[in-house]
Amino acid sequence: MPGLIGKKIGMTSVFSAEGKNVPCTVIEAGPCVVTQVKTVETDGYEAVQLAFDEKREKSANNPEKGHFKKAGTTPKARLVEFKEFETEFNLGDLVTVDIFAEDIFVDITGISKGKGFQGVVKRHGFGGVGGQTHGQHNRGRAPGSLGASSFPSRVFKGMKMAGRTGGDRVKVENLRVLKVIPENNLILVKGSVPGANGSYLIIEM
pLDDT tens digits in sequence order for the chain, 205 residues long: 788 999 999 999 999 888 999 999 999 997 999 998 988 999 899 999 999 989 898 998 999 899 889 888 899 999 999 998 878 888 888 889 989 899 899 999 999 999 999 999 999 999 877 677 777 778 888 898 888 888 888 999 999 999 999 999 999 999 999 999 999 999 999 999 999 999 999 999 8
Interacting residues of 24 by C-beta distance below 8 A, sequence separation 6+: 11, 12, 13, 14, 178, 188, 189, 190, 191
Q: What is the pLDDT of residue 133?
A: 73
Work out the number of other CB atoms within 10 angstroms of the CB of residue 47: 16
Q: What is the C-alpha R_g of the chain?
A: 23
Would you state the pLDDT for residue 92? 86
